[in-house]
Amino acid sequence: MDLDDLTKSVQQHRNELYPCHSFRIFAITQMQRAKVHKTIREMMVGHSTGLDSVYYKASEEEIFEEYKKTFGYLKIIIILE
């Protein structure tokens, strides 16, 4: 197997190798579509918020209001046949 074949194989199976990371990408994308506040979104997925964590202190109510925006977006439906 040469380097090109290896690169293609890794690219094809990237989501299989990192299922938790794939879920995080899905969640972030859906939260962006739901227009969740960027800093709160980053906090929800465990990312660093940089200086925002020093200067911006979201209340529990603010976090919950942003979280409620995701209700129509963060659904995974499994259809069994």
Confidence tier at 55 by pLDDT (50, 70, 90): confident
Rounded CA-CA distance 42/49 in Å is 6
pTM of the model: 0.64
Query: pLDDT tens digits for 19-47?
Result: 677 788 889 999 999 999 999 999 888 88
Helix-then-strand count for the chain, H and E = 6, 0
pLDDT at residue 15 tops 60 = no
Rounded CA-CA distance 78/15 in Å is 18
Residue ranges of domains in the chain: 12-68
> Where is pLDDT greater, at 71 or 1?
71
Residue 51 DSSP code:
T
CA torsion 48→40→46→50, rounded to 10°?
10
